[in-house]
Amino acid sequence: MDDMIATALRERAEGDIHVERLLDAVRTGVRRQRRRRFAVGFGAAAAVVALVAAAGVATAPDRRPDGRTAQPAQSGRVPLPRPPAVAGAPTAADRPEVLGSGSGLFHLDIRGTPIGWRNASWASTRGFEELRFEAAETGGDVRVLAARDPIWLGELGPGAASAAVDGLPAETVEQGGTHVVRWQPRAGIWAQVWATGEPDSAIAVAGKRIETPGSTSKLTAIALQNEKSRNVTAI
């Protein structure tokens, strides 16, 4: 019986396998997968971050000891509380030099995501800004970074692959279960998104330009990060 089973299986399994053809098919599939994740036209965006002129503060925000502005926890799809907008302040899309200018203004925002967010915090330091929040449904954290110099974003490390965000060239890499995507939304600004979690529950992230009356296109970025270091690709 055992021999019969082994022989029956061998007969069914054997046969020519064209390895180069298999490799080509895999490469094509990988490229197709990347295009699906990043192409804006396919509606893959789940969250959009706009570099906006909002996030100025008329009154002093609650600040955490680390200098971050704390936001109240919320769950589900409740709009994320944001620092109040400052009318007339230039956007980073208009003037990259305002990003991380230390003026007490924040220039990162998130819009249009279908996932619930909570516990967001903004941070700004010279030439660099960061927005962090927690994905309400998965408990993972999300991290969006924007900088005037890519040195603030750290090394991508080996194995970076090319991709596209909003039609712009980007790079993506996996680092110990954290997935990172980096691109340059406009001259003078670099954006980066971190995400960790289960690959199958990855949150697609894409960039989308937001046109508002009277302003130039705003820079957009999407970031997801899971501080629990579970694998999640989201970018």
For residue 79, the SS3 value is coil
Say whether residue 124 binds another protein (CB under 8 A): no
Give, as one character, the DSSP assignment of residue 111.
B
The tally of CA atoms less than 13 A away on the side-chain side of residue 42 is 14
Binding to another protein (CB under 8 A) within 183-222 occurs at 199
Q: Which stretch binds another protein (CB under 8 A): 15-23, 53-61, 75-83, 222-230?
A: 15-23
Number of residues that bind another protein (CB under 8 A): 33
- Figure out which of the listed residues 137, 171, 174, 227 binds another protein, where binding follows CB under 8 A: 174
Say whether residue 228 binds another protein (CB under 8 A): no
Contact criterion met (CB below 8 Å) for 176 and 162: no
* Window 24-43: contact mask with another protein (x via CB under 8 A): -xx--xx--x----------
Strands (E), the chain: 49-50, 69-70, 117-125, 128-135, 141-147, 161-165, 168-175, 178-186, 189-196, 220-221
Starting from the edge strand earliest in sequence, which strands make up the sheet with 189-196, in order? 69-70, 117-125, 128-135, 141-147, 189-196, 178-186, 168-175, 161-165
* Window 126-165: contact mask with another protein (x via CB under 8 A): --------------------------------xx-x----
Give, as one character, the DSSP assignment of residue 190.
E
- Figure out which of the listed residues 138, 192, 220, 233 binds another protein, where binding follows CB under 8 A: 233
Least separation in angstroms between CB 7 and another protein = 6
Q: Which residue ranges make up the site for another protein (CB under 8 A)?
A: 1-2, 4-15, 17, 19, 22-23, 25-26, 29-30, 33, 158-159, 161, 174, 176-177, 179, 199, 231, 233
